[in-house]
Chains A and B, each alone.
Chain A
Amino acid sequence: MANSTRRLFPVLSFLAASFLFDPLGVRAQTSTSASSTSGHGERWLHVRVINTNSKGETVRVNVPLDMAEKVLPAIDHDRLHNGKVRIGCMDCDGVDVRTLFEAARGAKDGEYVTVQSNDADISVMKKDGQMLVHVHDKNKSKDSRIEVKVPMKVVEALLSGTKDELDIVAGLHALAGQGDVELVSVKDDQNTIRVWLDSKNVTTD
């Protein structure tokens, strides 16, 4: 009995020590840094804001789309319920946004809205299954611009709910099916804002 205990002791000690020390950070210290490419099929939504003022503010947010899809329905606050946002002004100033979209969906590619004023140039167009919005603010620098690119399938999914709401979860689900795409790009004198979708779990600038 004593012999068998003696033989088992090193094994027990090793097992116990392994369990004991593993969670304390040995693995963390020896592990390599997170790889930039995430697991198979994972889609990440990235937001990057860089302000070049004296304080040099930078914001980087990386959200797995799958997680956002699962978590959003758990939020029940203000206008957001069950993954849907209630929008009161979907019928904006007599303009039925839904009907406009339905019309644009069936239409051919082209520039649908062009506004040229002293303050800004705005254009809304449909091209290669994407809704593109370009804004050039003339009050700011020459390079000041806003570009929004939303796949039509995503817009369609967003509007799939009832008339006065946007189905964010459906939109995210549709977005997950898209390839790598830059959704929003804003650039002016001091700020650079980018929102894009890819398969990497870190922001690489």
Chain B
Amino acid sequence: MPVTVPIEKDLEKSHRGGELNLLYLMLLIRRFEERASQAYQQQKIGGFCHLYIGQEAVVVGAVAAARNNDYMITAYRDHGHAIARGASLNACMAELLGKSTGISRGLGGSMHYFDRANHMYGGHAIVGGHLPLATGLAFACKYRNEDRCTLCFFGDGALNQGAFHEALNLAALWKLSVVFVCENNLFGMGTHVERATAVKELTNRAKAYDMPSMVVNGMDVRQVRDSLRTVLDAMRKRPYPFFVEARTYRYRGHSMSDPATYRTKEELDKYRHDDPIVGFKSVLLNEGKLDEAQFQEIDREAKRLAAESVRFAETSPDPPTEDLHKYTFVEGANQ
């Protein structure tokens, strides 16, 4: 059944009014990952699989605030980031099943989603290791005098890696246009941020590098979008990095193999009560911008695409073994 609700796939336009699109994107990510979880339990997916469920408002709000050609890079909990940027669920699911139709041809896996066309530069699995890469993306923009910002996402667990500090220092020193978005979901794997990080206020880490910062409610997509828009507008006028702590929560364990016994049911219930999708839906209902039937229609479409992605992935071919060495080196040189 075709969707009649005006969902705007073009995010540049969506933040000029199409808020239903934000809801739709969060639902796409949620429904995709529910299917991924199911497929993992059915042993269709190997290796690690880190779900983003609960954190959707962070990336959807941030992407809505950014321009389509701004650069984006993230850590290993990356499904939502690729989908928010416009990757197809089919390519994302095929990657989880290791298929040649995957977003990284089945060679990257869950933690290594790359989507060059949508300026999504990975998908990086060594905690903190991609923050220097973000400074490099922004450095290239400065080098070429491009009006482009870089959004760099990472978890609270990255705050204690050397690469985090080196990247923040270089970004501030060289006035690079990077928004460092710390998605604080309170846990680095099973260790609570208070047991891992010596500062109480995470934004103090940015202050150490004379970098401006703010805290946003990462469960509120509008707040994330509006805050990030302000940050990006200022950054385009006066290039300088910015640190955002987005307070959020993941409902699932660190990875599929983690039952998350380190937290209580009460804590989880409290956050479920603040669910970014449920919350935004009721805001839109109250404002008369959405009715229940429309919501059901959008959700049905998200569920349909998620289910379809599993079928697509299952019927896709594995990468050919004869291509094993194809991507170790690129042929040729800049002669």
- Pair from one complex: no
- Which A residues are closer than 8 A to B by beta carbons? none
